[in-house]
Amino acid sequence: IVWQTPANPDYVIRNGRYVRPYYFEFISHVKNRWAGKTIVDLFTDEFKGRSREYYVRAVKCGRLQVDGQMVHTDYIVKSSQKISHFLHRHEPPVLAGVISILQNEVDVVTICKPASVPVHPCGQYRKNTVVGILQAEHGLTPLFPVHRLDRLVSGLLIFAKNADRAECFRQQIEAGLLQKEYVAKVFGVFPDGEQTVDANVNFNAREGRSTVENGKQALTRFQRICTDGTYSIVLCKPVTGRTHQIRVHLKHTGYPIANDELYLSFDIDPMCTNCPNLAPVGYDEEGLWLHCVRYTGPDWSYECPYPDWA
């Protein structure tokens, strides 16, 4: 994939952070099993998100090119040729929070990630990402994310500035030398004292959520920080790193994150083909009350301020 370098003029801040629509070049190379097909047949068979009529028009107007050249609709592709598909992209908006740089060292930069912003290009997002915004607004490139934060989660995010430092972090992660801490706001009066949840986590990609059945071994430690009788602020220390681990483990304890609609009320019928497309209204537009506050390694520690809701 080749994508334009983000720049400040690309962004519009208006009840959120928007990206001006732009042209985007998807690049693919012809696989051996694709060779011998016409370009229209190839895209109709392999990329079913658009109709055959669309691909015919795309070839005729030059939106689909082979090795940088326009071709006819009956052009037969050959193995290893480069095919470019030019699209006019409209990225979804994200919340307009500022990406605060916490520490900017020689080979490491840490930031406070706003909720709703993905870390790196994925799916519909290219420029409305932490990596894209840091490049556009601060000239920080290249950046190597040391760990994950889901799009709806906020808080501490660590980047290495070079491959050697990134490899050092990777080795420490593989050796289990890192400790992670999050805070969450949950419904109810969370029990006092350290609570340990040792329950397997199984992520269902079709449903887009995890359950505590079968799956991979997962362990999280929880400690109540405070409560007002309705909500509790809880310190969360995941020992493993499964998808949605903290969210599903808190639900498992009976104290789910208070604005996590996916785990509060979204029940899916496994035989229904529409359920995966019916997430709660507004769920995907705002952030969770889940925030990364600290990462600690053998000889380093990075922290992030608590969010307003905590």
Q: Which residues of 42-54 are buried (b: 16+ CB within 10 A; e: fewer)?
A: bbbeeeeeeeeeb
Total residues belonging to the chain: 310
Active-site residues, by number, are: 150
Cβ(250)–Cβ(257) below 8 Å:
yes
Cα–Cα distances in angstroms (integers) from residue 277 to residues 55, 102, 204, 272, 285, in the given order: 26, 37, 14, 10, 15
Q: Which residue type occupies 195?
A: Q
For 168-217, the DSSP string reads HHHHHHHTT--EEEEEEEEES-PPSS-EEEE--EEEETTTTEEEEEEEE-
Q: Exposed, middle or buried: residue 208 (CB in 10 Å: 0-12, 13-18, 19+)?
A: middle
How many whole angstroms separate alpha carbon 3 and alpha carbon 25?
7
- The pair of structure tokens assigned to 167 is 């490899």
Nearest to 246 by CA among 289, 298, 192, 307: 289
Task: Determine contact, residues 71/106, Cβ cutoff 8 Å.
Answer: no
231 DSSP β-pair partners: 187
Helices within 26-106 (DSSP H only) = 39-46, 52-60
Within a 13 Å sphere around the CA of 293, how many CA atoms are in the beta-carbon half? 16
